[in-house]
């Protein structure tokens, strides 16, 4: 029997993005009446399997017909680690070795992402590119120049679909979703007042099911700590 893991959060997604997905031929465990999407297993350079809609087709069609901007969606994935492997979700090198991506780009309101509290840090002009690693440190002028470069690019060209925010499912301790890449663009999108930006979902491993509630609580506290004291 295949092993499925659900995202720790529910995401308000443009229903038009979900409506184009094919139907999955699998049956996931009951997840209330939620709309559920199973992300594919793809590497950066090639598409191996597409994202598929597991349940909620009628809700998606109704949302599109009614012109709703967003519809709550739960994402699921088949983890790349074995059932009782806790090391892969915890160790970055191992996690990235088994990491994969969904095939589709979706659209969300950045304010909704902020509300989910899944960012490791809140980036603004003041703390942008303030890396702690010495080899990546930048002067104040360099930091401002890079921030302005991205801000002006988004102003002129919009938030491009080929540069989506990356949200990794069950990233922290194999239990909680987390923005993995795109914190600076997130901050700029909010600064510019954008209400629709592209996101994609990735995944790697997951913690054993019995440990997930405790690890999710730990991850939530850890995220709050990072946002307050980290960069």
Whole-number Cα distances in Å, 186 to 112, 121, 154, 167: 11, 10, 11, 12
Q: Find the domain containing 134 and state its range.
A: 5-229
In this structure, what DSSP letter does residue 46 have? B
Residues 6+ apart with CB under 8 A from 164: 105, 182, 197, 198, 199, 200
Residues 6+ apart with CB under 8 A from 4: 26, 28, 29, 38, 76, 77, 78
Task: Give percent of the chain above pLDDT 70.
Answer: 94
| Cβ–Cβ < 8 Å for 105, 197 | no
| Cβ–Cβ < 8 Å for 34, 56 | yes
Compute the CA torsion angle 173, 178, 181, 185 (nearest 10 deg): -160
pTM recorded for the entire structure:
0.92
Q: How many domains does the chain divide into? A: 1
Residues 6+ apart with CB under 8 A from 90: 173, 174
Q: What is the pLDDT of residues 44-53, one digit of tens each?
A: 767 789 999 9
Q: What is the pLDDT of residues 51-68, one digit of tens each?
A: 999 999 999 999 999 999
pLDDT of residue 198: 98
In whole angstroms, give the CA distance from residue 70 to residue 23.
20
pLDDT of residue 1: 44
Mean pLDDT of all residues belonging to the chain? 91
Query: What 3-state DSSP class applies to 133?
Result: coil
């Amino acid at each position: 029997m295949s092993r499925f893991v659900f995202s720790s959060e529910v995401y308000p997604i443009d229903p038009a993005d979900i409506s184009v997905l094919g139907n999955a031929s699998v049956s996931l465990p009951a997840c209330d009446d939620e709309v559920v999407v199973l992300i594919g297993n793809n590497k950066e350079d090639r598409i191996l399997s597409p994202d598929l809609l597991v349940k909620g087709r009628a809700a998606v069609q109704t949302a599109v017909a009614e012109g709703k901007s967003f519809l709550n969606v739960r994402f699921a994935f088949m983890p790349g680690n074995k059932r009782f492997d806790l090391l892969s979700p915890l160790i970055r090198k191992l996690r990235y070795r088994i990491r994969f991506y969904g095939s589709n780009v979706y659209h969300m309101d950045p304010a909704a992402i902020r509300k989910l509290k899944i960012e490791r840090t809140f980036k603004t002009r003041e703390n942008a590119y303030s890396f702690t690693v010495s080899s990546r440190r930048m002067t104040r002028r360099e930091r401002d120049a890079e921030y302005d470069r991205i801000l002006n690019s988004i102003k002129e060209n919009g938030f491009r679909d080929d540069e989506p925010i990356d949200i990794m499912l069950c990233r922290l301790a194999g239990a909680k979703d987390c923005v993995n890449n795109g914190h600076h663009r997130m901050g700029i999108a909010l600064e510019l007042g954008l209400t629709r930006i592209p996101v994609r979902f990735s995944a790697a491993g997951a913690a054993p099911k019995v440990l997930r509630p405790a690890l999710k609580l730990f991850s939530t506290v850890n995220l709050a700590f990072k946002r307050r004291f980290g960069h």
